[in-house]
Amino acid sequence: MSKEIIEKDIVTTTAHYDDVNDRLTIERSQDIGAIIKNNKALYNETTGYTPSKDFKRVASIPAVIVEDLIKKKIWNDKKKMKQWLNDPENRFFRTSPGCV
């Protein structure tokens, strides 16, 4: 099996080629540690509102997760996106408490 990084930016794209089975797999990955750490700090320190109180930041979602949400048809569906944001499994992406 061979592995080659095709593109490295915020999201790293890696191609894996299995020459035994003649199969190519593309992997998209991202280090989300800093985003999770920042989300936790924002969640604990602020109410999430802008100074004008016009907007409230409720989440910060890494690019690879956004790509997955788009693929699953969640990102552009308000109801599904609210459910996803309110799911306890996704709490690491939240930047403020409460329900969306």
Q: Which among 2-6, 49-53, 67-71 has the top mean pLDDT?
A: 67-71
Give yes or no for a contact between 52 and 41, defined as CB atoms under 8 angstroms apart: no
Instruction: Kindly report, residue by residue over 52-82, the tens digit of the pLDDT.
Output: 777 888 999 999 999 999 999 999 999 999 9
Q: Is the pLDDT of residue 10 over 90?
A: no
Q: How many CB atoms lie within 10 A of CB 3?
A: 10
Mean pLDDT of 37-52: 82
pLDDT at 7 (0 to 100): 59
Give yes or no for a contact between 42 and 55, defined as CB atoms under 8 angstroms apart: no
Regarding beta strands 2-8 and 23-29, do their DSSP bridges make them parallel or antiparallel, or are they unpaired? unpaired
Tokens of 41: 């700090």
pTM for the complete prediction?
0.77
Give strand pairing partners of 29.
12
Give yes or no for a contact between 30 and 63, defined as CB atoms under 8 angstroms apart: yes
pLDDT at 40 (0 to 100): 93
